[in-house]
Amino acid sequence: MDVEVSLARDDDEWYQRQYDEEIHREESSETLSLPQLKQLFRDLIGEYLVGGNLHDLKDSFEELGAFDFSDEFIKIALKMGIDSTKNRERELVSLLIADCSGVFFDREAIESGFERCLESLDQIAIDAPNAHKYLRIFIARAIVDEALTRAWLDSPRVKRLAGPLVVLVKSLLDAPHGYERIDKMWNAFSVVELKGIVDGAVDEYMISGDMEEVKRSWTELETPGYGHELVKRGIRASFDFADGRDKIVTLLRYLMAEGNLPEEQVRRGIERVRESMEDIKLDVPAAEGKLHEIETSLIPHA
């Protein structure tokens, strides 16, 4: 069901002036007001933050058909991330923005969502004292994930809305290993700790075949953006077992189907294995062929 929109979007008071009118659904006689639409957005994002299933979120948004209001959706997602007490939920918001940018939502909607959040930042900060810090990290992370461009920081509108904050974002990006540090800022564990936990879970699975235990361990880490490392280390471990290919494919398919592992993270993990292939083949000469079999089993048309 699509939300009908025939509104000019000339300035930042667009929503306040126009949302007082009814928004009609083509396939229903029901009407949708601004508060109702915002609440639907909050409900969708809230379910996503609990379950982490990005596919379900996108399916529900498509059914709603409110793409003309994508920037409001992004603004609400950012605000919910800022208000959250959990880094896991902020990580999920970053993943949502990265996954949807340029494919599900156009770049202009992403930019507008951030700009609308910047406009309201002082008001948001009344109830969320860390709002400036968190939005700064959200912006830097979106640039690292290529959901925003660095050039966006220098646009007149962004400079007018958040000149000092822009300076701080640039300092994060320009710091030594800045992009790598920003990519891990929502993680509660150090990289070394995460790798150790993932290795332990993968090794146990290769012996026991207990997928539920891997899922439990992975969920407790609350680091969905680290999925590529799970994929990389799982595939690498599978090379050492005769039935490793079938086991890792079964596990990764399961985690993907359960919404714990986005396809983008699987692709990234496979690519990281490929980048290390020359070293891996010193110990496992057949590794390249094994990786190809795993990739084609997990990703159609790979």
pTM for the model: 0.64
Closest CA to 232 of 270, 184, 276, 178: 270
Segment 23-78, tens digit of pLDDT: 444 444 356 778 889 999 999 999 999 877 788 898 899 998 889 899 999 999 99
- At residue 58, the 3 state secondary structure works out as helix
pLDDT at residue 284 in the model: 94
Of the two residues 222 and 251, the one the predictor is more confident about is: 251
Residue with the two structure tokens 């229903």: 28
Residue with the two structure tokens 């939005």: 135
Cα 196 from Cα 175, distance rounded (Å): 27
Segment 91-148, tens digit of pLDDT: 899 989 998 888 889 999 999 999 999 999 999 999 999 999 999 999 999 999 999 9
How many residues in the chain? Answer: 302
- At residue 275, the 3 state secondary structure works out as helix
DSSP annotation of 2 reads P
Contact 39, 51 (CB under 8 A): no
Residue 49: enclosing H or E segment and its boundaries? helix 34-51
Neighbour-count burial for 135-160, b at 16+ CB within 10 Å, e otherwise: bbbbbbbbbbbebbeeebbeeeebee
Is residue 205 pLDDT above 70, yes or no?
A: yes
Residue with the two structure tokens 């969320």: 128
- Classify the C-alpha dihedral 296-285-261-149 as positive or negative: negative
What average pLDDT does the chain have?
86
Domains belonging to the chain, first-starting first, are 14-183 (1.25.40.180), 191-298 (1.25.40.180)
Is residue 200 pLDDT above 50, yes or no?
A: yes
pLDDT class of 15 with cuts at 50, 70, 90: low
Cα 203 from Cα 190, distance rounded (Å): 20
- At residue 124, the 3 state secondary structure works out as helix
13 φ/ψ angles, rounded to the nearest 5 degrees: -95, 10
Query: Around Cβ 248, how many Cβ atoms within 10 Å?
Result: 25
DSSP, residue by residue, 222-270: T-GGGHHHHHHHHHHHHTTSTTHHHHHHHHHHHHHHTTSS-HHHHHHHH
Contact 185, 178 (CB under 8 A): no
Residue 99: enclosing H or E segment and its boundaries? helix 87-100
The token pair that represents 166 in the structure block: 């822009």
